[in-house]
Structure 1
Amino acid sequence: MERAGVMSVALTLSLLLTAASLLASVADGCDGVPRMSAVDACKQASTAGVMWQLCVRELGASPEPEEVTGFVAAAMRANREAYGVSYDAAEKVRVDPSSPAGLATVSGYCEGKYDTAQELMTGWIDRLPGCDITADIRVDLASAAAAVDECATLLLQNGGEHTTLYQMVLLDRDRAVLAVRLAILLVPNKV
């Protein structure tokens, strides 16, 4: 459990540094893209206190207006990094000879779902800096969130609800939903 806590702190610090650098690296201006502060973006994208906390951890709490494109890119990059950690955790459960057979099988399925989520996001991460933004971003990010949610559901159904992997997947699902909600803020002026 102590190791999981250290990994969580390390991941959080890494995500914060990634978000800060990425907000600065997105294109200097995409026509028609709304600008708002990270605080306002988090208010609009959050559905509950937990989502608000996650958003502020990923985007910061700057009151200065910035392009929403940067927030979406930061959320997707943070997700990509977190998904890699969860993928590795699922692989460890799958190959662990002491894992129950059902849980090992589901963990392998989760690896595939994380591959899908990564693939859906990676194309957009590459496109956003060039201002190549369409409404399809919402569909792709919602599909990525659904893939992570399918993993969570299967873990729950197969006795994995008390595992560290399940907790990681739930947090990833919340991150995925946050990315979708931020993309919704981005797209209205781009369709």
Structure 2
Amino acid sequence: MLTWTPLESNPEVLTKYIHKLGVSPAWSVTDVIGLEDDTLEWIPRPVKAFILLFPCSETYEKHRAEEHDRIKELQEQHPDDLFYMRQFTHNACGTVALIHSVANNKELVLDIDIGVLKDFLEKTVSLSTEERVKALENDKEFTAHHHALDQECSTIFDYQGYVIHHFIGLVIKDE
């Protein structure tokens, strides 16, 4: 299994990342200070997705494993127009959350000149969720863009291949 460098939860760095991937400069990533009504009022509109970063725990890992087994048993199907992929590469959760956020919001215009994300989405649109993961792992240009963020991060840490936080994306689709 591949291991990527973990992304820093930094809206400036993540905004630069999505722009490098080809998202229009009209869109950005913003910090959410809290989920109370008064703090949610500070968020620029429209909101297309929330990307949450949370600490992993034994409880989370147990729930994740149970959910995985439940979904596998149900052979859950996703709508045809939903772009979904599982994450197998360690520390790719931030990138996968960003991919889900952009791929499921067609109005987030992708620049045809940059095209890394656009090319990836076009190549993987008809693939299964597992095949999409393999395509991401084998996409040298996408991997290079992810690792280039190391130079942008303001936090220096030695993660030793193990990170105790996880990004997930909650996408507002077909609103």
- TM-score normalised by structure 2 residue count: 0.29
Greater helix fraction, Structure 1 or Structure 2: 1
Greater strand fraction, Structure 1 or Structure 2: 2
